[in-house]
Amino acid sequence: MTAFFKAIQYFFENIIFVPLDAIRQLELSNWWVANTITWIMIFILFGFFFYWIGQLHKFNKEKTERIDATAHSFFK
C-alpha cells in the first residue's frame, strides 16, 4: 500500500508540478518574466471564461436550452 502512495507522490512531484517548479526557479532569476507568464495565462483563462458566458447567453436568448427538471436522465 505504501508503494501506491509513493507512486502518487512521484507522479505529482516529478511530472505534474514540473512547470510550476520551473516558474518558481525563473522567479528567482527574473521576476518580470515569471509574472508575465502568469498574467498571460490569466488573460487566456479570462478569454475562455467570457467565451463560455457568451455561449450561455446566446443559448439562453435563443431558448434552445432545456431548463426543465427532466432535462437530464438522472432527474427522472
For residue 72, the model assigns a pLDDT of 67
pLDDT at 74 over 80: no
For residue 60, the model assigns a pLDDT of 86
What is the rounded end-to-end Cα distance, in angstroms, of the chain? 41
Is 59:65 a contact under the CB 8 Å cutoff? yes
70-to-27, 61, 66 alpha-carbon distances in Å: 51, 20, 9
Is 34:23 a contact under the CB 8 Å cutoff? yes
Q: Which comes out higher in pLDDT, residue 19 or 51?
A: 51
Is 26:34 a contact under the CB 8 Å cutoff? yes
pLDDT at 57 over 70: yes
Is 24:37 a contact under the CB 8 Å cutoff? no
The structure's pTM equals 0.57
pLDDT in tens, 7-47: 999 999 999 999 888 888 888 899 898 899 889 999 999 99
